[in-house]
Structure 1
Amino acid sequence: MKDYKKYYHISASPQDIYAAITNPATIQLWTGEAAEMSTEVGSEFSLWEGSIVGRNLEFDEGKKIVQQWYFDGQEEQSIVTIKLHPDKHGTSVELRHINIPDEAYNDIVEGWNNVYFGSIAEFYEGF
């Protein structure tokens, strides 16, 4: 199991980034795919036609999201914590993803950088 931590800088407010991660309509705008998402603690979510699935554990509106991501056959919980910090250029996003299965690590890191936060950054650059 591996852990990953990284900061991303996105030219949008923490509220906008929070909506991009938690609002199904906004998620669909930057992913191009329908999403199942709710800000109800304990609700399950699905992104990219089920490529990413899990359970929502904690929300602090505009500031923090904590999720459990599911991996087949994994006993330990893989936890994603996203903290949103306002800065003078928009938002500093602090990502921490723990207990990533070794065999999935490289794909997960690439996904965070290029698909997930890369797509959100590109989406907000257009405004």
Structure 2
Amino acid sequence: MKDFKKYFAVAAPPEEVYAALTNPATIQLWSGEKAEMSTEPGSEFSLWEESIVGKNLEFEEGRKIVQEWYFGEDSDENPSIVTIILHPSKKGTDVELRHTNIPDEAFDDITEGWIDQYWGAIIDFYKE
């Protein structure tokens, strides 16, 4: 199992970035795919036609999201936790991403996905 931590800058205020991560209609705008998402702790979510599935654990509106991502059988013993913290900045939002317990065999795909498809798409969505 591996951990991943990275910072991103988004040219939008934290409230808008938070909506882009939690509102199914906004997720569909930047991802191009339908999403199942709720800000209800304990609810399950699905992105990119169930390529990413998991459970929402914690929310602080406009500031923080904590999720458990499912990776098959090992998820019960070693949950893979995603924590996204949004910090206001002069140019919009600084994003701190931490993803723990990523299975070794999925690490390269997951980290590339975070950088290119997930945050790359959000950053492009908010470019001026």
Normalising TM by the smaller chain, what interval? over 0.9
Matched, 1:102 2:92: no
Shift of 1:98: 0.2
* Misfit runs of 4+, over 6 Å: none
Q: Give per-residue Cα distances to partners, 1:52-97, cap 9 Å, x unaligned.
A: 0000000000000000000012131000000000000110000000
| Structure 2 CA distance for aligned equivalents of residues 115 and 34 of structure 1 | 15
Question: Which residue pairs with 1:45 in the alignment?
Answer: 45
| Structure 2 CA distance for aligned equivalents of residues 31 and 7 of structure 1 | 20
Question: Which residue pairs with 1:84 in the alignment?
Answer: 86
Question: Which residue pairs with 1:120 in the alignment?
Answer: 122
Structure 2 length as normaliser, TM-score?
Answer: 0.97
SS in 2 for 1:110: helix
Question: Which residue pairs with 1:58 in the alignment?
Answer: 58
Structure 1 alignment gaps of length 5 or more: none
| Structure 1 CA distance for aligned equivalents of residues 10 and 39 of structure 2 | 22
| Structure 2 CA distance for aligned equivalents of residues 30 and 67 of structure 1 | 20
Question: Which residue pairs with 2:33 in the alignment?
Answer: 33
Structure 1 length as normaliser, TM-score?
Answer: 0.98
| Structure 2 CA distance for aligned equivalents of residues 18 and 41 of structure 1 | 15
- The alignment of Structure 1 onto Structure 2 pairs a total of residues equal to 126
| Structure 2 CA distance for aligned equivalents of residues 92 and 64 of structure 1 | 12
Shift of 1:25: 0.3
Instruction: State the percentage of identical aligned residues.
Output: 68
Matched, 1:67 2:67: yes
Question: Which 10-residue stretch deviates more, 72-81 or 89-98?
Answer: 72-81
CA RMSD for the aligned pairs? 0.6
